[in-house]
A and B are shown apart, each in its own frame.
Chain A
């Protein structure tokens, strides 16, 4: 898995499925959850998407706002495997 693919797929998922706007180009360090762009159900959706798309299983206790707030953080977590 290269970083560019992970970033691209995660971003597309967030744009299409969570923000319902494929053209909304948010910054990679934008605080998505505590910045109020996404709601509390979004993290579960991100977690399941990461499992499906990249076969990376992130344990529930690690899915926190502090650790999964930005696209950068999500990408880094996926790449750690």
Chain B
């Protein structure tokens, strides 16, 4: 930390904010206790890997050197399209400390069409003038070829290229590497594909210098994380933990862009939310206050790092704050949700961020025999974030895991968005998020939130997202863009000191209007608490992922047998899944059942392989079924209502 006379190693909070100049002051890079755990990487079928701060520093320095050796320019955009593993983490911080601008993007999955993935990547790289793409050895040649074909002058580096440039002499060529089958990655990241030829894919994460810690898979009740960490670093010399070169630090200014968070979208026109060092540090300081964050906290996460919740709350935050991060692969967690509870039981973390569907997924799909005896009482808060929050999901989770130490006091909510770095609001930690019953009719007809007593026929339950974090303001504007007061429904707008600088390389887009960011979310404020009740945009949020209906419709319109331009996609809330399922209604003349079946399956397959989300419902209708607006456009909302009525779901 660069401040004078301040206590080294304290949490970044509002009182200590001035001690942090850029993200190079992150505790993981500067804290004098280099032997503490930075990351414990938990794996489904292999021993966890513990990375100390010393090991982390050495690794990121090596990655920074490798990137310099590969002539990646300082301030260049470095796209990291990797399997989630330690390598992608080191690459991110290596790029950050050498002054480049890293950005995490999803990797190719089994389901996605590789050609479409690569075309989208090429477009994104071209539009954002990226300086380099880092990916797996298996995928690098294919991506390189795609870039050459598309005339995109951007180098692609695999793990071996970095190892060669960084000359860290690790066994990249050893068993960890993933096999390639033809043009796509073998089994990388398929939901349940933990192993390739008997080798866990994430073994690739072993590099460089992380030590295996086989013993930590056993139950270690009563042992602190620092104890666990000190076991695993016995063979590491602390002299081997270089400090970050001071010349690179001095060249970075607080208002320089630190990294990008990319919005979702499949068109290659994803927006890169550019965040300055200052904004990220402001967010973390304010959020620490809202969370009452302490040096004794630790964070557990299965979240992907290409999403703001995973990237900020469960990656940048613990590393900057110097609190341990217990991390696992999202693909492994989806297939085995018990992994999260096991990790909580073993490592006793205190904070966990989850999208709403995760509460349902764990409550419904973890077998009692697997969870028996596991203890989750160390958690101060399970923070629900990134999709509409449902009280029922919380109730299912708490009820299901009461005997494991889950309780309502752990149930917290945050309203967050990449444009505000992350959190906009947070409910108080230590007590259940507030729930209000309001009149449905008044919300819809009068645009007012009127409290009702529970059980009234017209009463609708909404879970509070809490109050704005310090230095962030939330207001509500009505349809005429006038600010309205408490209890009035309108679009939520946000103002803060942790807002994005710009959308990267998109001078045509202005993120702020009159100093406010328009969220596109509809909500109200009651007693200072923010409630989100819908969206003004047609965005679908499926399993924590933002999905644009336009992208789905474009795919459906290309299916033979569907009338081009006569398809609509929308989200349908599903109480079992705790998220929105995607419904497609398409007009067709096909009359035979064979032909209709073919179209139905084709729609599902194409949408899945081109957008990486699965369609929940396909409805084929006769020509003229879809409602159009007066200007001839397909009206999503009206058709959604018509379909819900047809299916008896309204």
| Chain A residues within 8 Å of B, Cβ to Cβ | 19-21, 24-26, 30, 33-45, 48, 51, 60-61, 63-66, 68
Contact = CB atoms under 8 A, between A and B. Distances in A.
B311 interface: no
A60 B336 contact: yes
A68 B607 CA distance: 21
Given A26-B601, A41-B334, A34 B111 contact: yes
B367 interface: yes
Interface of B: prevailing SS = mixed
A35 B607 CA distance: 11
Given A20-B581, A37-B608, A60-B44, A43 B601 contact: no
Nearest to A27: B601
Interface string B592-616: 0000010011001111110001101
Contacts of B607: 36
Interface residues of B, number: 35
B618 A43 contact: no
B110 A65 contact: yes
A29 B238 CA distance: 57
Given A24-B600, A51-B367, A65-B192, 12 more contacts: A24-B601, A25-B597, A36-B111, A37-B605, A37-B614, A41-B191, A44-B361, A44-B365, A60-B335, A61-B194, A64-B194, A65-B110
Contact of B361 (A33, A34, A35, A41): A41
Interface of A: prevailing SS = loop
A26 B335 CA distance: 24
A36 B605 contact: yes
6 shortest interchain CB distances as A-B pairs:
A36-B608, A40-B191, A39-B614, A65-B190, A34-B110, A36-B609
B516 interface: no
Interface of B: 44-45, 110-111, 187, 190-195, 331, 334-337, 361, 365, 367, 543, 581, 597, 600-601, 604-609, 613-614, 616-618
- Which among B45, B190, B365, B606 has the greatest number of chain A C-beta atoms within 10 A? B190
Contacts of B367: 48, 51
B570 to A, nearest CB: 14
A1 B187 CA distance: 32
Contacts of B111: 33-34, 36, 39-40
Contacts of B609: 36
Contacts of A43: 191-192, 335
A35 B610 CA distance: 11
B644 to A, nearest CB: 13
B561 to A, nearest CB: 15
Contact of B191 (A20, A35, A48, A65): A65
Contacts of A41: 191, 334, 361, 365, 543
Contacts of B365: 41, 44-45, 48
A33 B62 CA distance: 39
A21 B601 contact: no
Nearest to B613: A39
B363 to A, nearest CB: 13
A64 B193 contact: yes
- Which among A26, A30, A41 has the greatest number of chain B C-beta atoms within 10 A? A41
A34 B612 CA distance: 11
B194 to A, nearest CB: 6
